[in-house]
Amino acid sequence: MSQQAKYIVFYGRVQGVGFRFTAMNIANRCELTGYVRNRSDGAVEMFAQGNGEDISDCIRDIRESFAGYIQDVKTKDVPYDQNYENFKITF
């Protein structure tokens, strides 16, 4: 399995609705490493790495869980970072 890493930004009403906690749980279920955190512009950013299919599943599940809240999602391939051993909420 090839390991991938993606930087994802979720736009919309994604702060103050349990988004980060839910995203962390989904990412952990998908066995990803990385982080999720709020941005000062009201968006939520996520760095997720693992199997490419698992990352896609994670993004899909987050989109489904917050379908009424997410207006847009931007993703970008980024270098894999071996320093992450788990997935967590950061500040």
pTM for this predicted structure: 0.95
36: amino acid identity, one letter: V
Catalytic residue among 25, 28, 38, 51: 38
Q: pLDDT tens for the chain, 91 residues: list them.
A: 679 999 999 999 999 999 999 999 999 999 999 999 999 999 999 999 999 999 999 999 999 999 999 999 999 999 999 999 999 999 9
20 is catalytic: yes
Domain region containing 60: 18-89
47: amino acid identity, one letter: F
CATH code for the domain in which residue 84 is found: 3.30.70.100
Catalytic residue among 20, 25, 29, 51: 20
* Count of domains for the chain: 1
Residue that has been written with the tokens 């980060």 in this structure: 20
Q: Is residue 5 part of a domain?
A: no
Q: Is residue 8 part of a domain?
A: no
Q: Is residue 58 part of a domain?
A: yes
d(CA 91, CA 13): 18
